Structure 1
Amino acid sequence: MTHTSENTVTVVKAVWADALGIDHIAPDDDFLELGGHSLLAMRITARVSEEFDIDLPMPVLLRHPTLSRFTAAVERAVREKHGEGT
């Protein structure tokens, strides 16, 4: 599936909202401060990996805990997998 940057944000935000049970998530919201924990991180990275057909290890979310930073990491992983550079 091809994703635009805007679409990536929308998809990642929806995954976070569903997993965390929160309707509104801002770009600078922190996963852990929103109540995230390791089991939710595993669920989120698995869903995002499936959605974007990438292999995204759970620690990526913990290293990039805001929505905007995590989305950027997802976009990098997509570009790397599909040979579009870094």
Structure 2
Amino acid sequence: MPELETPSMTVPEMAEVWSSAFGTAHLGPHDDFFDCGGHSLTAARISQQIEVLTGVRLPALAVFDNPTPAGLTEVVNRSMQHAAEGS
């Protein structure tokens, strides 16, 4: 039986989530949350959208600790992998 691939979120998908939360056309993988004017409500919007898309519930603080789409994507994918291994 073939091994099932763990679902993952891509950096471009995460950048889209961030772009939506900031109300801008495009953010890149290394754009900084704080440099873009991010605050607690923006972090909450990003966290909520990640949960809708992936089922991973991250505290808004995770955005502060991983302030780029690329960095936060790694956190989400690790969480998804741990969840898949635990099931």
TM-score normalized by the length of structure 2: 0.81
Percent of residue pairs identical: 33
Q: Distance in 1 between matches of 2:69 and 2:41?
A: 17
Deviation for aligned residue 1:64: 0.3
Q: Work out which of the residue numbers 51, 74, 77 in structure 1 matches 2:76.
A: 74
Aligned length: 81
Higher Cα Rg, which structure: 2
CA-atom RMSD, angstroms? 1.7
Alignment of 1:1-86 (within 5 A): 3-4=7-8, 7-83=9-85
Structure with the larger RCO, 1 or 2 (CA within 8 Å, 6+ apart):
2
**Structure 2: which 5+ runs fail to align?**
1-5
User: For residue 55 of structure 2, what is the amino acid of its counterpart?
Assistant: D
Report runs of 4+ in structure 1 exceeding 4 Å deviation.
none
**TM-score of the two chains, using structure 1 as the length reference:** 0.82
Any unmatched runs of 5+ in structure 1? none
